[in-house]
Structure 1
């Protein structure tokens, strides 16, 4: 059985804007993983219940999501996770990640394991903010020379939240050497570069998970 570590934010506010995890970016991939027979564990920097971005709720949640949300009601502290127990790591998005993912020492330590063991490293939307400041054992940025995607500058401006951001994600990842591919705003778009699998926006959550499963099936 494959075991996936899904990392979510604890940040519930940026300036005066309420934020958190974008719900579908956990639930859609987690559903795919569970249907594929994977075990899913949710973690966050502080542990406990993950804040959900209020704008990511719909009036009626799909019935297939029943039970899938349970892991984010009581996440494990990432610092207490043994990365050796997992086949892959998936950083879920939501604007909250911009508050606690970038340049995070715990994330850096955990990711170095996945880098050195050539395990799956994946993310969607703002999830790649976890890669900011991450280097391998040779001090080379994780994203240098890698083809990736994530929430684009254009999408950030269209969301009207660019002024709340500590930096623009696309710009920062490009500055660290990523070959950042930005497709049309809010369209499903996934990039696969070896074991590094990234999705551009919430609309890409399902496809990102499917790309991860396909990667494992080929291995």
Structure 2
């Protein structure tokens, strides 16, 4: 069985170069769709964040400007269906990359706040 590590941002904000701070997190569709596809393929998925912190959904990813309402409802429903997994991620520093066949990073602006500068993430 293929094992995949989802490295998810634990950031709830994105700090710009000028110091301006925007609410942020992981982008809903960029986590939900691959997770659903990989799950349907029978892959075993482990979610991990820096420090094992519960990830924050970027609310903009679920806003009207992010897509068709029917699509956003599908994404929201899928994220709710995996809520227990999102609420209890593993600690990224405790993950052994040799235990996984694939490492996947869902997008959004949140990863720029924490994963882009995290030494464990960088080593992956």
CA contact (8 A) 2:116 2:122 kept: no
- 1:104 — aligned with what? 118
Asked whether 1:45 is paired with 2:50, we answer yes
Change (3 A) 1:70 1:28: farther
SS in 1 for 2:39: helix
Deviation at 1:68, TM superposition (A): 3.2
- 1:93 — aligned with what? 107
- 1:61 — aligned with what? 73
Most deviating of 46-55 and 63-72: 63-72
Q: Which has the larger radius of gyration?
A: 1
Aligned alpha-carbon RMSD (Å)? 1.9
Quick one: distance in 2 between partners of 1:55 and 1:86?
A: 31
CA contact (8 A) 2:28 2:57 kept: yes
Quick one: distance in 2 between partners of 1:90 and 1:27?
A: 12
Could you give the per-residue CA deviations for residues 53-79 of structure 1, whole angstroms, max 9, x where no partner exists? 011125763286152343222211100
The structure, 1 or 2, with the larger RCO (C-alpha pairs under 8 Å, 6+ apart) is: 2
Could you give the per-residue CA deviations for residues 148-192 of structure 1, whole angstroms, max 9, x where no partner exists? xxxxxxxxxxxxxxxxxxxxxxxxxxxxxxxxxxxxxxxxxxxxx
Name stretches of at least 5 consecutive residues in structure 1 with no aligned partner.
Answer: 112-219
Could you give the per-residue CA deviations for residues 132-162 of structure 1, whole angstroms, max 9, x where no partner exists? xxxxxxxxxxxxxxxxxxxxxxxxxxxxxxx
TM-score w.r.t. the length of structure 2 is: 0.79
- 1:72 — aligned with what? 86
Deviation at 1:16, TM superposition (A): 2.8
Deviation at 1:104, TM superposition (A): 2.1
Query: 5 Å matches for 1:201-216?
Result: none
Quick one: distance in 2 between partners of 1:31 and 1:64?
A: 11
CA contact (8 A) 1:11 1:19 kept: yes
Change (3 A) 1:70 1:26: farther
Query: 5 Å matches for 1:1-219?
Result: 1-14=1-14, 15-57=20-62, 61-62=73-74, 65=78, 66-109=80-123, 111=124
Deviation at 1:18, TM superposition (A): 0.5
CA contact (8 A) 1:42 1:76 kept: yes
TM-score w.r.t. the length of structure 1 is: 0.46
Query: How many pairs does the alignment contain?
Result: 110
